[in-house]
A and B are shown apart, each in its own frame.
Chain A
């Protein structure tokens, strides 16, 4: 009996690991497992089962050896299995075919309108400069749109802003975002630092560079000892934030009834960098916004003492900048909503 066992053991201990390490298919791995370790007929299983019938001395010698062989076979089978599986996967991947020239299905992603995109960038820069958002209605009173802004009835400055009036109502469509100044100053005490982005309306013929509906971003700062130099500093930062660190501005005297002194602010031509090109009418500069120190009459109108407080205000047109940023040749295209145009604009 013990001799049979020993013969069986000898054969197995010599060959089993060798056989197992050489299996070449996953099926062969399984077959080898059944042959040696199968629960019913596994050859090593049978030997392990026979251990109990061996004399004690032999049991002590062969017991650990047989169990060690079992562990070794299991390990070897596992490692072969993993190796063969990896090989099979690799072969599968190698033979797989993906046509990457097929058109990918589009994930629907929309875009913001170039005007919103531009306006958001402006308000984001101003927001970082400490301006908080303010807003007002688009249908306004003469009082807020003109009178409070130092443009009394029949003032020739009204020609600068041709106006849409409402039928049967003493109201108009605001010609600028400046009435928000009046509303805000009447409702709040200085110091004030606000920005008011929004839609404005001018009664003028629509063409490639003029729209009767457009957008402005208004800025207003009221505090003690505010000067033109503060205005220039803030606008310089704003414009460089918008157009890049190399952008430069210049101030020219100009007239807006609600500021004194008033300035037209030019930006060095963004297309020719000041060399002179058709876009800047060969001047090297582009007219970009109007600004100035808030007129004492405006402060007084809003109940703010101009002897104590001073401030600046500015207003930037959004469309002109959007046209420049995106190279759109005609302002009307911004209001047509042709998807073929819009889908190419804005990030």
Chain B
């Protein structure tokens, strides 16, 4: 809200200037977002007269002038082309301070003494007069008078942010009242002029929707002559950023800024049928609003209507046809109180947040309407003449405010302070004039405008605010601590994230949303995406009702979308490859709710950058399997071939991961078609883990296992095997031998080419053998190798000689 410092100062005798006031307000919980200085921001400038003007002996463009400042004549060097003898000018004397803290000093300019400055509008920070050079004043300007005082007072406009809990501060009187409480000063509220109520009675008003309209007061002022507002009123509105319309409308705007009570004026002669109704709008009723918009109304909206239809949207905006113009003769003043929520909903729906609706939706002082209506009529009579009639009022009695007992002990307990009782009670008495002693504290009733004061903690805050939050001490945290509980899913997510970073992956942070084109790229021709715990069709996607943009159409059903988007971004910025992972939530509609899942997904693509120590390798499914094994070490991980029912993964080069028969993830190479859709070049692998499933799956606690103190031995078998033999069959065949000493079986080399016959491949399998209680003999080793070779032979493998 824009606040004029001068206006505030008329209402309460502020002991501080505008900047210090902003600081005060900050510590009262109202931050001034900006301070705009208005009017003359200079001192020491007087009206002067140029007595003589000569050319500067040492400079072509400068003049030597003598200036009379009302008491003395001084020499001044001036560079303006328009300076002339006999002119009245704005003269900055030595010691004057111009905007920007520019202090005028005695100077020597090109050898000539200069004691002061003849000013231009720009130098004084005044609006331009369009003249190139100094400001020339009217010839009648009295020489020697303070120039600033001839321009009217300077002012500062503070843009103060008022929280939604303090509608009472949304006006100058309201803010002045707050500051009066704070400084312990009297409030000088403007009184309504007394006037005889000789005019006709107001139009009858039927309130058919009493929930929407809590109070409606009205008054007729007849025989007015509506002209433009006087200058002082125009300026006051202009300084606060409001446009002057005409004297009658300006009165309503001025009073809104003065006391926060919205008012509306109708041209009484344009109200049809001689009576008004406050009712719900009928569906389809329309109103051309004073905000320039044509509003289509619904029964949700409260309207003021005459016999012909709505004339105003209650509390939001008046209608053009019944508005007051310079042709208006008789004015009907409305001063009402409407339901905050109803005004809010209507203003929101009509996109018509007005100064009026903002105040109604936050709550206006229920006791203020009659007085505000009277002040409005008084001002109208003053500016437009006419005769006022009596006031009609549907609810003269304001609702009672709660009375609360508040003690210093209570306040100190809540704030943790040690304020003495008199200090606390002093604040309470300033807040509520009728505070009465009650036990060890005071019984206080909130004033009608303080809708936010209802319970004891509200008053504790008030005391803290006015005595300063800085006076609240810092206490050490109490030592009584609940036993910390560990949450399995976040703990797992953190452990795995840390491990992924250790394994060379950069953690990503993606938005939770996907666009339709991104969804197209993810789904492809597939009807359903695999979320690991469920399939997700496009109908299952949780979509936003009000996305910020088309990019944020739906909540992500998989983390891969964001990772793919990031990979493409990096590719487009020149990266040849990368490794990313993210841990986060995925979302799917599930009946009337949304099912969230915790996931960790990784994406790596492109080749490692070539390096002299190692050759570049493209990501493949085997690397992905190794990654999963390292990441989930210690868990009984089962791999099931294929993970591509949804076309995300390569149909062959992918694996579903299970623990205890339950799916916990999938991994592998991404489907070439998916990569084509995303325009991601080169091979790419991904890993997706369902952290909910993984946290629920059994993870055996690490236990000590005995290691053999006897040395083990290794035997390599070089086998020629049929090219189509799966390693798993060989592995199973070896395991089926149940060799007691076999502790590990590794494939250490795979070779095709020179020396290996067509249709065969050479595998070197390493058997590690050991026993817990003794060293194996050569004969035993020989037998084990022999039996392994025989097992291999049953699969068509032969030992290479």
Nearest CB of chain A from residue B680's CB, rounded to whole Å: 14
Instruction: Verify if A325 is at the interface (C-beta below 8 Å from B).
Output: no
**0/1 interface trace, chain B 466-502, chain A, CB 8 Å (1 if under):** 0001101111111011111111011000100110111
Query: Given contacts A229-B416, A339-B506, are A170 and B163 in contact (CB under 8 A)?
Result: no
Whether the pair B544, A169 counts as a contact (CB closer than 8 A) is no
- The answer to whether B26 and A252 have CB atoms under 8 Å apart is yes
Question: Which residues of chain A are within 8 angstroms of B393 by Cβ–Cβ distance?
Answer: none
Residue of chain B at shortest CB distance from A234: B477
CA distance A105 to B504 in the complex (A): 14
> Any chain B CB within 8 A of the CB of A45?
no
Complex contacts, B455 vs chain A, CB 8 Å:
260, 296
A326 CB to closest chain B CB (Å) equals 13
Q: B535-575: contact bitstring with A at CB < 8 Å (1 yes, 0 no)?
A: 00000001111111000100100000000001001100101
Chain A residues contacting B146 (CB-CB under 8 Å) are none
- A255-B163, A261-B457 in contact; A156/B362 too (CB < 8 A)? yes
Chain A 113-172 residues near chain B, CB threshold 8 A: 113, 115-116, 120, 127, 129-130, 132-135, 137-139, 153-157, 159-160, 164-171
Q: Given A203-B546, A339-B578, are A113 and B507 also a contact pair (CB < 8 Å)?
A: yes
Bound together, the chains give a CA A109 to CA B28 distance in angstroms of 50
Could you say which residues of chain B place their CB within 8 Å of the CB of A169?
542, 589, 592-594
B-side contacts of A252, CB under 8 Å:
26-27, 29, 469
A154, chain B: closest CB distance, angstroms: 3
Q: Which residue of the partner chain B has the closest CB to A136?
A: B596
| A110 engages B507 (CB within 8 Å) | yes
Structural contact, B566 and A166, CB atoms closer than 8 A: no
Q: How many angstroms between the C-alpha atoms of A206 and B612 in the bound complex?
A: 44
**A338, B596: Cβ atoms closer than 8 Å:** no
Q: Which of chain B's residues have a CB closer than 8 A to the CB of A230?
A: 416, 475, 477-478
A202 to chain B minimum Cβ distance, whole angstroms, is 10
Within 8 A of B (CB), among A224-264: 225, 227-230, 232-234, 236-237, 250-255, 257, 260-264
Most chain A beta-carbon neighbours within 10 Å: one of B341, B464, B509: B509
Complex Cα–Cα for A164 and B553 (A) = 11
Question: Nearest Cβ distance between residue A144 and chain B, in whole angstroms?
Answer: 13
Residues from chain B with a CB closer than 8 A to the CB of A133 are 484-487, 490
Q: Indicate whether B461 reaches chain A with its CB closer than 8 angstroms.
A: yes
Distance between Cα atoms of A338 and B485 in the complex (Å):
36
B509 adjacent to A293 (CB under 8 Å): no
Q: Tell me whether A223 and B505 are in contact (CB under 8 A).
A: no
Q: A127-B484, A154-B342, A262-B461 are in contact. List 13 more A-B contacts (CB 8 A).
A: A108-B504, A112-B507, A113-B508, A116-B509, A132-B482, A153-B341, A165-B544, A166-B542, A166-B543, A199-B584, A260-B461, A261-B461, A342-B508
A102 at interface, CB cutoff 8 A: yes
Q: Which residues of B contact A191 (CB under 8 A)?
A: 480, 482
Q: Is there a chain A Cβ closer than 8 Å to B669's Cβ?
A: no
Asked if B675 lies at the interface with its beta carbon under 8 angstroms from chain A, I say no
Known contacts A106-B611, A206-B548, A261-B464: A343-B490 contact under CB 8 Å: no
For residue B585, CB closer than 8 A to chain A, the reply is yes
Q: Would you give the shortest CB distance from A284 to chain B, in whole angstroms? A: 11
Which B residue sits closest to A157, measured CB to CB? B164
A252 and B587 alpha carbons, distance in the complex (Å): 39
Task: Please pick, from A109, A139, A262, the residue contacting B594 in the complex, using a CB distance under 8 A.
Answer: A139
**Which one of A13-21, A31-39, A55-63, A329-337 is at the B interface?**
A329-337
Q: State whether the Cβ of B177 lies closer than 8 Å to any Cβ in chain A.
A: no
Name A229's contact: one of B473, B587, B589, B593 (CB within 8 Å): B473
CA distance A296 to B345 in the complex (A): 27
A273 CB to closest chain B CB (Å) equals: 19
Which residues on the B side are within 8 Å of A251 (C-beta)?
Answer: 469-470, 472
Inter-chain contacts of B500 with A (CB < 8 A): 110
Interchain CB contact under 8 A, A229 and B417:
yes
Contact A111 B473 (CB under 8 A): no
Question: Does B633 interact with chain A (Cβ within 8 Å)?
Answer: no
Residue A69 at the B interface, CB < 8 A?
A: no
> A residues within 8 A CB of B279?
none
Contact B544 A164 (CB under 8 A): yes
Interface presence of A340 (CB below 8 A): yes
- With a CB–CB cut-off of 8 A, which chain B residues contact A112? 497-498, 501, 507
Q: Chain B residues with Cβ under 8 A from A342's Cβ? A: 506-508
Q: Does B465 contact A (CB under 8 A)?
A: yes
Listed by A's residue number, 9 A-B pairs whose Cβ atoms lie within 8 Å are A106-B611, A110-B503, A112-B497, A113-B508, A130-B481, A156-B164, A192-B482, A229-B473, A233-B473
- Find the B residue at minimum CB distance from A113: B507
Q: Which of A153, A225, A229 contacts B474 (CB 8 A)?
A: A229
User: Does the CB pair A130–B482 fall under 8 Å?
Assistant: yes
CB pair B165 A255 closer than 8 Å? yes
A310 at the interface (CB under 8 A from B): yes
Chain B proximity of A142: nearest CB distance (Å):
13
Minimal Cβ-Cβ distance residue in B for A202: B548
B415 at the interface (CB under 8 A from A): yes
The 4 A-B pairs with the shortest beta carbon distances in the complex, nearest first, are: A229-B416, A108-B504, A227-B416, A154-B341
Q: Report A's interface with B, CB cutoff 8 A.
A: 102-106, 108-113, 115-116, 120, 127, 129-130, 132-135, 137-139, 153-157, 159-160, 164-171, 173, 191-193, 199, 201, 203, 205-206, 212-213, 223, 225, 227-230, 232-234, 236-237, 250-255, 257, 260-264, 293, 295-296, 310, 334-340, 342-343
Is B573's CB under 8 angstroms from A340's CB? yes
Choice from A130, A293, A335 contacting B510 with Cβ under 8 Å: A335
> Closest CB of chain A to B544's CB: distance in Å?
6
A162 to B507, CA, bound (A): 29
Residue of B nearest to A109 (CB): B504
For chain B, residues 23 to 49, give those with C-beta under 8 angstroms from any C-beta of chain A.
26-29
**Assembly CA distance A277 to B54 (angstroms):** 48
B570–A227 touching, CB < 8 Å: no
The answer to whether residues A170 and B592 also contact, given A110-B503, A111-B507, A255-B164 and a CB cut-off of 8 A, is: yes
Task: Find out whether the CB atom of A109 lies under 8 angstroms from the CB atom of B344.
Answer: no
Which residues does chain A contribute within 8 Å of B482, judged by CB atoms? 130, 132, 191-193
By a CB distance below 8 angstroms, the chain B residues around A206 are 548
Query: Across the interface, which residues of A come within 8 angstroms of B344, CB to CB?
Result: 154, 156
Please state if B575 and A339 are interface contacts (CB–CB under 8 Å).
yes
B179 CB to nearest chain A CB (Å): 14
Interface centre among B26, B482, B555 (most CB of A within 10 A): B482
- From known contacts A110-B579, A156-B340, A213-B512, infer whether A225 and B570 are also in contact, taking CB-CB under 8 Å: no
* Chain A, residue nearest B507 (CB): A113
When distances are taken between beta carbons in the complex, the residues of chain A under 8 Å from B484 are 127, 130, 132-133
Residues on B with C-beta less than 8 A from A260 are 455, 457-458, 460-461
Closest to A262 in B: B461
Verify B570–A233 contact, CB threshold 8 A.
Answer: no
Beta-carbon contact of B464 and A130 below 8 Å = no
Which residue of the partner chain A has the closest CB to B461?
A261
Residues of A within 8 A of B474 (CB): 229, 232-233, 236
B232 at the binding interface (Cβ < 8 Å): no
Contact of A132 among B26, B485, B489 (CB under 8 A): B485
Complex alpha-carbon distance, A155 and B361, angstroms: 8
State the Cβ distance, B159 to closest chain A Cβ, in Å.
14
**Residues of the B chain whose Cβ atoms lie less than 8 Å from the Cβ of A213:** 511-512
Q: Is B738 an interface residue (CB 8 A)?
A: no
Which residue of B is nearest A232, CB measured? Answer: B474
Question: Distance (Å) between the CB of A304 and the closest chain B CB?
Answer: 15
Knowing A112-B497, A167-B544, A228-B414, say if A334 contacts B509 (CB, 8 Å). yes
B613 proximal to A (CB < 8 A): yes
Q: How far does the alpha carbon of A338 sit from the alpha carbon of B566 in the complex, in Å?
A: 7
Query: Which residue of B has the minimal Cβ distance to A235?
Result: B474
Q: How far is the CA of A134 from the CA of B482 in the complex (A)?
A: 13
Within 8 A of A (CB), among B356-402: 361-362
Give, as a whole number of angstroms, the nearest-CB distance from A53 to chain B.
Answer: 45
Q: Are B494 and A120 in touch, CB under 8 angstroms? A: yes
| A164 neighbours in B (Cβ, 8 Å) | 544-547
Interface residues of B in 591-634 (CB under 8 A from A): 592-594, 596, 611-614
